[in-house]
């Protein structure tokens, strides 16, 4: 008999990147790295960051994060460093300016999800430290001190990576917008001291319950710098939507061993039932994901969202 944990294990396996998708990331990373090297020489440290290095990447929705950190001896201001990186990247790529990153959107990516992009984060090392300062384009501060290595180690060594990936799948398939690093830290905080992290069913349910009960008030800090309260990046209105979505999900699966209910909260329509329900209730044409549909079937897109999944 297919148990809930069997299903969740299979769902995670279906979210591993195929070799051609991993090759796409490597090729794009090399392309951007080679370009930056041509422009700036050997000075900046350029490397993978984000979910790729933490192990939390999912096939449904992935992108690539690259840091471009200049040495502490660079006398330019952080804004000057960022502007310089931006000006060079704009020679070749279409950019979207983010709070602390330049987002490359003009990438050839036939095997990647919709919205695939690369975020390049410029920064400068702090003298005699692996910490960096990065420029912040808007908000209360113009710079932020942090540490990429600390971020990666905190998440990758937490024992929570599979649950983080499951929560990311749930959020993506239900059109729930939550910053990845906030999500990762919240899962790690929720499961801190938990000895049953390998029980995916119980751990996932515990995280969903914590989101509905605690997400609105919990303060999450950057493990590399406690002055950075990362949970502040989520607006109260966004928190309310996330909390309501978690409450809906919790009510559907709490105390339930019905596999169909669990598939439903992940918008898994591989058995056809939810697909038919969505088709009847929507007057819009059904959008079919451009991802490989093996193991997960169709992925409902907006405007359906959480209420129907």
Nearest to 61 by CA among 108, 10, 114: 114
How many other CB atoms sit within 10 Å of the CB of residue 14? 19
Distance from C-alpha of 59 to C-alpha of 188, rounded to nearest angstrom: 21
**70, containing H or E segment:** strand 64-70
Domains of the chain in sequence order: 4-12+156-308 (1.10.1410.40), 17-146 (3.30.460.90)
What's the rounded mean pLDDT across residues 56-78? 96
Task: Give the three-class secondary structure for 106.
Answer: coil
Could you tell me the sign of the dihedral formed by the alpha carbons of 127, 104, 181, 138, in that order?
A: positive
What's the rounded mean pLDDT across residues 278-300? 36
Note the pLDDT tens digit of each residue in 153-173: 999 999 999 999 999 999 999
Note the pLDDT tens digit of each residue in 176-190: 999 999 999 999 999
Beta strands in 112-250 (DSSP E): 118-125, 132-135, 143-146, 221-222, 225-229
Note the pLDDT tens digit of each residue in 230-271: 998 888 999 999 999 999 999 999 988 899 999 999 997 654
**Structural tokens at position 53:** 């290095």
- Given a cut of 60, whether residue 280 has pLDDT beyond it is no
């Amino acid at each position: 008999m297919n148990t809930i944990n069997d299903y969740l294990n299979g769902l995670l396996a279906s979210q591993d990147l195929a070799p051609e998708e991993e090759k796409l990331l490597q090729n794009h990373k090399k392309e951007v790295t080679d370009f930056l090297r041509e422009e700036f020489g050997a000075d900046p440290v350029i490397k993978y960051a984000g979910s790729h290095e933490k192990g939390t990447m999912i096939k449904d929705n992935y992108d690539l994060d690259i840091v471009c950190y200049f040495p502490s001896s660079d006398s330019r201001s952080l804004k000057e460093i960022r502007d310089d990186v931006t000006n060079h990247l704009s020679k070749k790529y279409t950019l979207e300016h983010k709070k602390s990153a330049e987002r490359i959107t003009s990438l050839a990516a036939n095997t990647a999800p919709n919205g695939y992009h690369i975020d390049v984060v410029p920064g400068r090392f702090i003298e005699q430290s692996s910490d960096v300062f990065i420029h912040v384009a808007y908000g209360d501060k113009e710079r932020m001190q942090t540490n990429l290595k600390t971020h990666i180690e905190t998440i990758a060594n937490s024992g929570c990576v599979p649950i983080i990936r499951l929560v990311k799948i749930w959020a993506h398939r239900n059109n729930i917008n939550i910053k990845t690093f906030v999500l990762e830290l919240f899962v790690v905080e929720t499961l801190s001291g938990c000895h049953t992290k390998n029980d995916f069913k119980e751990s996932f349910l515990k995280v969903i319950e914590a989101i509905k009960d605690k997400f609105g008030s919990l303060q999450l800090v950057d493990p590399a710098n406690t002055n950075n309260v990362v949970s502040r990046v989520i607006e109260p209105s966004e928190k309310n939507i996330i909390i309501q979505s978690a409450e809906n999900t919790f009510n559907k699966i709490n105390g339930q061993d019905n596999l169909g209910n669990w598939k439903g909260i992940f918008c898994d329509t591989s058995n056809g039932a939810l697909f038919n329900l969505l088709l009847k209730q929507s007057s819009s044409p059904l959008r079919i994901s451009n991802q490989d549909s093996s193991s997960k079937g169709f992925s409902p897109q907006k405007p359906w969202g959480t209420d129907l999944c």
